Structure 1
Amino acid sequence: MKKVAVIGGGTMGNGIAHVFAMNDIPVTLIETKQEFADRALNSIEKNLDRMVKKEKIDEGRKVATLNNISVELELVKGVKDVDLVIEAVPENYDLKKKVFETVDKAAPDHAILASNTSSISITKLAAVTSRPEKFIGMHFFNPVPVMKLVEIVRGLETDDDTYDVIEKTSKLLAKVPVPVNDFPGFVSNRVLMPMINEAIFCVQEGVATAEHVDEVMKLGMAHPMGPLRLADFIGLDVCLDILNVLYDGFKDPKYRPAALLVKMVDAGKLGDKTGQGFFNYN
């Protein structure tokens, strides 16, 4: 990989840009507004400062990492000379479809197109492009600089060469790539989200408080973080989006989102990002 474009500078996007840049791969971070780009760069710099403080990297590596990142506010210009495009926009099919329709026309013919989606069909996204064989899922986990796992999701037409390149690239980033086939939620969220949803049902039905549900799971099941604290960390809106994808994809009532989750998202209580979810962060 000589150059990579990351579309979206939110929590996942800036983390993905961070790990590529720290491994000496130039990154173009594409955002829609300068203020969003500045916020992303600020987050990356803060995370690098933490790594310097913990003596995981030195000041020179921090400076080199930041120098490996450039910002572009025009999508077409941002992908015109790259080898890999990774989309990290919100978990909405119509938005991702629009992005990939534009990227497919603007990116070089040899470029691989990847989505960081956590649940949306890779095959369905690939179908909006003229290169489904070069389309793949590259699902990182939050916080990206820390978490080792990358789910590599093969669509129906993803070819072996594309998979091999993404597997090698993941290892170059010091990640552990795990191959997964294209089903709603892949492996991680197909297993995780029903657990989070059931924990929410426990609160909704008065079985226990959020604090006590999490305490049971931490002390009884050795989870480092309770499911409701994890839901707040992920974002309750993201959890709801993923559960809706699972519910629509499988048509199975076991994936039906809890009414309490819907109500909290409607109220704007999304977890860490808003300061209040199942727990208060203010």
Structure 2
Amino acid sequence: MTEIGVIGAGVMGCGITSAFMNNGYHVYLIEKDKEKYKDIEARIKQNNVLFRFNKKDIKPGKYEFVESIEELASCSFIIEAVSEKMDEKESVYKALSAIKNQEQIIISNTSCVPITKLGEIYGAAEKVVGIHFMNPVVLIDAVEVIRGKGTSEDTLEKVKALISDIKKEYFIVNDCAGFVSNRISHLYMNEAAHLFEEGIADARSIDGVFKKCYGHKSGPLETADIIGIDVVADSLDILYENYKQDKFKCAQILRKMVLEGKLGRKSGQGFYKY
């Protein structure tokens, strides 16, 4: 059974764990705080129900908690899914560098941080690549693969095979902050937040225009709630830091919601109540 390490047991880390364990992988999930185990287990169980309801081909695997990066030394692939805080990512990649070997591939699920920058911190850029899984991971059957400037063809080929093995389609893009998906999506989520803040329309009307007029499955404010308002705000900060363009300045309503703990679905309230 191929071993996968997942660093970060938030919404995305749990979704990634479910996607791999239901395709026959043994997942080692890092979470140091044992008091969070029960909530994480409940989230993974919910993901598994969704996966098994929507998929026909299931190959049972398993997951287990571990407490340190050192315990991932035997994993063929390690997926980093920590927050979009650069200091946290830097700490993770320095720790990964201490256990690196020539066979191991490091995958980042970052929303916006350039893969090239993470490769430089790791110290073996050829082994670092991005896979931008979409939320909810168990339902969306496509990913964005980001090739850093130093990512080798061998790493890319192995990651393409990995994604195919969990039955997802992939789109390969070159590296930049936000990549393709979030350079576009965060602009419309941010602008939708401005419209909401200015009182131009309520959340349902803003999202309704996107869904009924443009045929989108989810509106921009619904999408922000799914991703997490805090993650959207952090990602916009990264985009602004990299491009210095006013269009990426985070809407004040998003910052206010983060301070109030209105983070979207995961907290029970965002632009909508859950």
Same fold (TM over 0.5): yes
> Which one of the candidate residues 242, 246, 264 is aligned to 1:249?
242
> Deviation digits for residues 102-124 of structure 1, max 9, x if unmatched?
11212433201111101011111
The offset of 1:2, in angstroms, is 2.6
> Which one of the candidate residues 209, 214, 222 is aligned to 1:229?
222
> Which one of the candidate residues 125, 138, 141 is aligned to 1:145?
138
Match of 1:17 in 2: 17
Separation in 2 of the partners of 1:9 and 1:186? Answer: 23
Letter aligned with residue 223 of structure 1: H
Letter aligned with residue 47 of structure 1: N
> Which one of the candidate residues 97, 102, 112 is aligned to 1:104?
97
> Which one of the candidate residues 111, 117, 124 is aligned to 1:118?
111
Separation in 2 of the partners of 1:113 and 1:50? Answer: 27
The offset of 1:266, in angstroms, is 2.0
**SS of match in other structure, 2:201:** coil
> Deviation digits for residues 127-186 of structure 1, max 9, x if unmatched?
111211101111111111111111111111111000110011101110111111111110
Separation in 2 of the partners of 1:261 and 1:42? Answer: 28
Count of matched residue pairs: 274
> Which one of the candidate residues 250, 265, 268 is aligned to 1:272?
265
Match of 1:31 in 2: 31
Letter aligned with residue 207 of structure 1: I
Distance 1:72 1:261, change over 3 A: same
2:243 corresponds to 1:259: no
Distance 1:127 1:55, change over 3 A: closer
What pairs with 1:203-218 in structure 2 (closer than 5 Å)? 203-218=196-211
CA contact under 8 A between 1:88 and 1:116: conserved in structure 2? yes
Q: What TM-score, normalized to structure 1?
A: 0.91
CA contact under 8 A between 2:22 and 2:48: conserved in structure 1? no
Q: What is the percentage of aligned positions where both structures have the same residue?
A: 38
The offset of 1:57, in angstroms, is 5.5
CA contact under 8 A between 1:83 and 1:108: conserved in structure 2? no
> Hey, which bits of structure 1, 4+ residues long, moved more than 3 A?
49-52, 54-58
CA contact under 8 A between 1:82 and 1:108: conserved in structure 2? no
Distance 1:204 1:12, change over 3 A: same
Separation in 1 of the partners of 2:54 and 2:133? Answer: 24
The offset of 1:55, in angstroms, is 7.4
Separation in 2 of the partners of 1:113 and 1:130? Answer: 11
The offset of 1:51, in angstroms, is 4.5
CA contact under 8 A between 1:30 and 1:37: conserved in structure 2? no
**SS of match in other structure, 1:128:** helix
Separation in 1 of the partners of 2:185 and 2:75? Answer: 34
> Which one of the candidate residues 147, 158, 177 is aligned to 2:151?
158
Runs (5+) with no aligned partner, structure 1: none
> Deviation digits for residues 214-270 of structure 1, max 9, x if unmatched?
122211111111111111111111111111111111111111111222222222211
CA contact under 8 A between 1:9 and 1:37: conserved in structure 2? no
The offset of 1:95, in angstroms, is 0.3
Distance 1:55 1:277, change over 3 A: closer
Q: What TM-score, normalized to structure 2?
A: 0.94
